[in-house]
Structures are given as C-alpha cells and as structure tokens.
Amino acid sequence: MTTSAQITKETAETIARFNDAFQRRDRAALAAVVHEDCLMVSAQPAPDGTAYMGKDACVAFWAELMDDASTTFEVQHVFTAGDWAAVRWRYRFGPTDAESVLH
C-alpha cells in the first residue's frame, strides 16, 4: 500500500527532475517529466494570467522561456503534499532584483 508520505516523496522527486531539466534548458528531459494532464498558469497577462493545459502546451510555453539565454530561473521554494506541488521561482531578465519577478 502506497502511503501519503511515499506519494509526497515521489512528487518532490519529480519536481526536482523538472527544476533540474529547466535550469539546464534540456527540453527532452523536461518533456519526460511533464504529464499529459499538466496545468500551468503563467503570470501574464495580469490579473489572472494564462492557463496552459496539457503536456504539449505546457512544454511549448516552457521551451520558449528556455530558449531565451538572457534569462534565468532560480528555485526559491518547493512545497509538496501528496501529488500536489507548488514551486516559487525568481525569473531574472537582468542582473539586479529590480530586473526580476518572483512567482
């Protein structure tokens, strides 16, 4: 029987693989961990952002971000509970904090 703690651990491992692939800008590795029913909501346009549903839409969105070599993403915090996860990132588009967004 799978416990809640085991599911949380598996979720945390999956998110770690995703973050690693994203930071290395490895599309294939990123796509390998994204599930077909993935939902991602971007911060733009305000106030509600844009929802991307499904593996193809989510990977395409992230691949566009990864293609911009002038930007970086830094993992600030990861929270996992069961099969849910939330990741807080800092998206940098310049060298100072004023040229970044925390999500």
Determine the pLDDT at residue 56. 96
Amino acid at 26: D
Q: Using only C-alpha atoms, what is the Rg of the chain? A: 14
Where residue 16 falls among pLDDT bands split at 50, 70, 90?
very high
30: exposed, middle or buried (Cβ count in 10 Å: 0-12, 13-18, 19+): buried
Where residue 4 falls among pLDDT bands split at 50, 70, 90?
very high
CB 66 within 8 A of CB 58: no
99 membership: H or E segment, kind and range: none
Where residue 8 falls among pLDDT bands split at 50, 70, 90?
very high
SS3 92: strand
- Asked if pLDDT for residue 95 goes beyond 90, the answer is no
Determine the pLDDT at residue 44. 81
What domains sit in the chain, N to C, each tagged with a CATH number?
Answer: 4-102 (3.10.450.50)
